[in-house]
Amino acid sequence: MIKRAPASGPAARPDGELPLEDDTAEALAAEAKADLAAVAAITVGPPVPLRGIAANGMLITARVRLIDRKAHKVLGQGTAVSASRGTDPGVVGYAIDRALVAATADVLPQPAQSLAQPPAFTGDDTPPGEPGIVLIRLARATPWTLVQAELKHLLGARGVSRATLRHVSPSGWVIGVATGESIDRIASIVKKPPATDTMVTVKIVGDLIEAAMAGAP
């Protein structure tokens, strides 16, 4: 059911009063057995010259208010502005329709967007080794605080000139250790807990040291 406001009703303003009160809109919705009521107002501005065109245009402002009749609350408000290229009633009417559609789209709640779960990586993501670099991979469940503690622990070890985080992936944290020591020597360093209340298990897989830590530094 659509009811036009009386000619003596309040004028529509961008942030002002709509030509129909919420209570009246709810009553009309109840009469039509509708759950929602939409109140719309259109403001048509005076003709103004269009820059670069030998014609006048009119600014159209639409404001829409959506009301839940049963809950007695406003679900949302929307505002949109369009312009007519000319003052012909048909052209102005088309601009009004565009403004109303845009304002209605503004007031209606947007559907929730769901993102598809990305596929898990299943390949080998071990970074290639380098001469003089021993790679250590900490389990992916290792907290960042323990990763930092392990880096500090390695930097303070004899025979280690540099220890940096080289790679982060679903498989874990990979630390590169610049050293002249053997992989077995570095594994023995990693096996020592970097902090109190921390347990470390270590195994050598090819040219990679894999370590799992549990506890808190």
Residue 176: inside a domain, yes or no? Answer: yes
Residues 99 and 31 both lie in one domain: yes
**Residues of the chain with pLDDT > 70: what percent?**
87
- According to the model, what pLDDT value does residue 95 have? 93
Residue 96: inside a domain, yes or no? Answer: yes
Q: How confident is the model at residue 2 (pLDDT cuts 50, 70, 90)?
A: low
* Dihedral class, residue 200 (left if φ above 0, else alpha if ψ from -120 to 50, else beta): beta
Count of domains in the chain? 2
* Dist. CA 82–CA 84, nearest whole Å: 7
N-to-C CA span, the chain: 68
Containing structural domain, residue 143: 133-215
pLDDT, tens digit (0-9, with 9 covering 90-100), for 130-152: 889 999 999 888 888 889 989 99
Q: Read off the pTM.
A: 0.45
Residue 95: inside a domain, yes or no? Answer: yes
- Phi/psi of residue 15, each to 5°? -125, 25
DSSP codes of every residue in 83-150: EEES--HHHHHHHHHHHHHHHHHHHSPPPPP-PPPPPPP-S--PPPP-TTEEEEEEETTS-HHHHHHH
**Which residue is listed with tokens 């009553």?**
27
Q: Hey, what are 93's tokens?
A: 């009417």
